[in-house]
């Protein structure tokens, strides 16, 4: 007796189809699972055996062999429980043998209940793309069968018929046509707009007009920012306000962020009737975070803080206090927009299109250059402190700004600052210009139906060649850049980043051409990096 049924397993932010083949033959009672199963999959033998018995079905006292194809793909997690149980029941004749129109994913409890699993949205998104191709070629698609608690999440993918079941007995009824389960292909009632509420409003932040201007430019072009200043001047407060002036996410960006949080098991904070994440992520890991916590890792290569900040903000407070290996590992994701995680038995690629906002003190005590308080650090201590941040990492900060202390008059002066909503409108207008300008220049790379799409067509995402094509300067602007570059103040990477920042400044001013004043302002945002490399 042989049967087969479709399952799926998650591989990073992608998913792979798994053909669950079941053979029941005469011989000594045995239950073997082959096809490179991980520990959780091998343990499915006991869960499936108990679930079938406790659901009122007889478990065969024969030799059962379950093959998970392709055999060279490592299978992780407990999501294949439901497919294995359905395959055994199909081989016994309890359900129809032809189950090619179903894809099953769920964990079984010993009493036959179906429990939810993580990563269901990723399965649904991949299935949506594959189902469209299958309908064109074969005239039929798939129905995704999941635990009842996963139905709302699966429906976010749209156009994927989903069926929610609560028990194994209910699954048998659905496959036999006696029950319909919670069958639906509708999506939750959500809007395409994804505006999030800011943690801090710029209106409540006194003074710091230059820093606010810098953060507005950074938001307009998706640039990375480094703020340097003594403790207590408001660096962290302004970093939290930064997320509130970013443009709202579109639906595809919301889906991608929700996929990552689903894989990490972090959707419990979302409303059960609408788990779609609509607010841009703001991740603020402590400086004691390990390399695996930041970049992702573990046996299943789970997403880390870098991936969880996708399409949002990664805030690193007290940047030099982070371990050196963690900081150096950030260089590749900041440049490529993706993070690669490779383990002995598992590999994953996660998107990492984020804005990095970092802060640091000018010295270990924090008061170097402060007119009100004396710095007691020695030159050697200052050099060692600044040396914790390498030059290549500093180069990846498009904008650096010095944050000084406020005067008494600035703290208690009349009036309020400009609200975040007003700044956000200017940022959105600048992004619209970039969307039109860069449309067609970015290639959307897809794999298994999931695109690591550069949905954010922003100036900071441009390659070096595209930067020189888009950011053409006038004669006076070229002379200024030539003089700065000839004085060895800029590396080649920094040169391109200055051009991108100048383009963002011009976009905020709604200018089609990059003017000399735009170039001069962009150059002024690089001075701190150069001063940090050498002690004067």
Per-residue pLDDT tens digits for 280-327: 999 999 999 999 999 988 777 789 999 999 999 999 999 999 999 999
- Is-cis flag, bond preceding 111, omega within 30? no
Q: Contact at 8 Å (CB) between 189 and 288?
A: no
Q: Cβ neighbours of residue 340 under 8 Å, at least 6 residues apart?
A: 332, 347, 348, 349
Let me know: does 360 contact 394? Beta carbons within 8 Å.
no
Q: At 336, list the tokens.
A: 């490529």
**Averaged pLDDT of the chain:** 85
Instruction: Taking residues 141-168, report their average pLDDT.
Output: 90
Higher-scoring residue by pLDDT: 184, 87: 87
Q: From CA 169, how far away is CA 163, in angstroms rounded? A: 14
Between 475 and 443, whose confidence is greater? 475
Which is higher by pLDDT, 186 or 86? 86
Question: What's the token pair of residue 162?
Answer: 């989903």
Mean pLDDT of 532-536: 39
In which element (H, E) is residue 530 found? helix 527-533
- How large a percentage of the chain has pLDDT more than 70? 90
Least confident of 220-234, 403-417, 499-513, 515-529: 403-417
| pLDDT reported for residue 412 | 73
Question: Helix (H, G, I), strand (E, B), or coil: what is residue 134?
Answer: helix
Distances (CA, A) of 178 to 13, 84, 166: 35, 21, 15
| Residue whose tokens read 């900041």 | 334
What tokens appear for 181 in the block? Answer: 């389960």
Rounded alpha-carbon distances, angstroms, from residue 368 to 228, 318, 341, 357, 527: 11, 15, 39, 22, 17
Tens of pLDDT, residues 43-68: 999 999 999 999 999 999 999 999 99
Residue 250, pLDDT above cutoff 50: yes
Q: Which residue has the higher pLDDT, 29 or 410?
A: 29
Average pLDDT on 117-137 reads: 85
pLDDT tens per residue across span 315-336: 999 999 999 999 999 999 998 8
Categorize the per-residue pLDDT at 197 as very low, low, confident or very high, splitting at 50, 70 and 90: low
Q: Range with the lowest mean pLDDT among 229-233, 485-489, 531-535?
A: 531-535
Q: Are 333 and 306 in contact (CB under 8 A)?
A: yes
Report whether pLDDT(193) > 50. no
> 430, 428, 438, 432: which is closest to 505 by C-alpha?
430
Question: How many residues are there in the chain?
Answer: 536
Enumerate long-range contacts of 298-301, CB under 8 Å, 24 or more apart. 299/38, 299/76, 299/343, 299/345, 299/346, 300/76, 300/77, 300/346, 301/12, 301/341, 301/342, 301/343, 301/346, 301/347, 301/348
Two tokens, residue 370: 């402060």
Q: Does pLDDT of 529 surpass 60?
A: no
């Amino acid at each position: 007796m042989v049967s087969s049924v479709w399952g799926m397993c998650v591989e990073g932010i992608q998913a792979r189809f798994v053909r669950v083949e079941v053979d029941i033959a005469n011989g000594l009672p045995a239950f073997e699972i082959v096809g490179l199963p991980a520990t959780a999959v091998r343990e499915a033998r006991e869960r499936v055996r108990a679930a079938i018995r406790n659901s009122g079905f007889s478990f065969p006292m024969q030799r059962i062999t379950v093959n998970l194809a392709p055999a060279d793909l490592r299978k992780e997690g407990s999501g294949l429980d439901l497919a294995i149980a359905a395959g055994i029941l199909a081989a016994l004749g309890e359900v129809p043998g032809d189950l090619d129109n179903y894809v099953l994913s769920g964990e079984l409890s010993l009493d036959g209940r179906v429990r939810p699993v993580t990563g269901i949205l990723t399965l649904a998104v991949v299935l949506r793309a594959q189902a469209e191709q299958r309908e064109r070629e074969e005239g039929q698609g798939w129905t995704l069968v999941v635990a009842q608690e996963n139905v709302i999440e699966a429906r976010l993918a749209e156009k994927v018929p989903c069926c929610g079941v609560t028990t194994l007995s209910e699954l048998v009824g659905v496959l036999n046509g006696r029950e319909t389960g919670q069958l639906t292909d509708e999506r939750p009632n959500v809007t395409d707009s994804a505006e999030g509420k800011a943690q801090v409003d710029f209106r409540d932040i006194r003074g710091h007009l230059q820093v606010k201007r810098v953060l507005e430019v950074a938001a307009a072009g998706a640039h990375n920012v480094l703020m340097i200043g003594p403790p207590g001047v408001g660096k962290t407060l302004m970093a939290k306000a930064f997320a509130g002036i970013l443009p709202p996410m579109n639906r595809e960006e919301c889906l991608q962020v929700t996929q990552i949080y689903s894989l990490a098991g972090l959707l419990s904070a979302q409303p059960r009737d609408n788990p779609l994440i609509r607010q841009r992520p703001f991740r603020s890991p402590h400086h004691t975070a390990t390399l695996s916590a930041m970049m992702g890792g573990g046996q299943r290569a789970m997403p880390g803080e870098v991936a969880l900040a996708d399409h949002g903000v990664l805030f690193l407070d007290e940047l030099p206090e982070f371990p050196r290996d963690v900081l150096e590992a950030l260089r590749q994701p900041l440049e490529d927009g993706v993070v690669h995680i490779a383990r002995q038995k598992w590999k994953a690629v996660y998107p990492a299109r984020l804005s990095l906002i970092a802060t640091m003190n000018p010295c270990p005590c924090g008061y170097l250059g402060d007119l009100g308080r004396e710095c007691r650090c020695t030159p050697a201590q200052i050099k060692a402190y600044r040396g914790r941040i390498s030059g290549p990492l500093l180069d990846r900060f498009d904008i650096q700004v010095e944050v000084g202390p406020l005067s008494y008059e600035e703290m208690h002066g009349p009036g309020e600052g400009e609200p975040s909503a007003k700044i956000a409108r200017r940022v959105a207008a600048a992004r619209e210009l970039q969307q039109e300008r860069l449309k067609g220049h970015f290639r959307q790379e897809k794999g298994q139906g999931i695109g690591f799409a550069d949905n954010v067509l922003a100036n900071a995402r441009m390659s070096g060649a595209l930067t020189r094509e888009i950011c053409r300067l006038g004669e006076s602007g070229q002379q200024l850049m030539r003089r700065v570059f000839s004085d060895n103040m800029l590396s080649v990477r920094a040169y391109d980043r200055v051009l991108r920042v100048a383009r963002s400044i011009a976009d905020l001013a709604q200018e089609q051409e990059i003017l000399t004043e735009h170039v001069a302002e962009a150059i002024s945002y690089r001075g701190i990096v150069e001063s940090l490399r050498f002690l004067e």
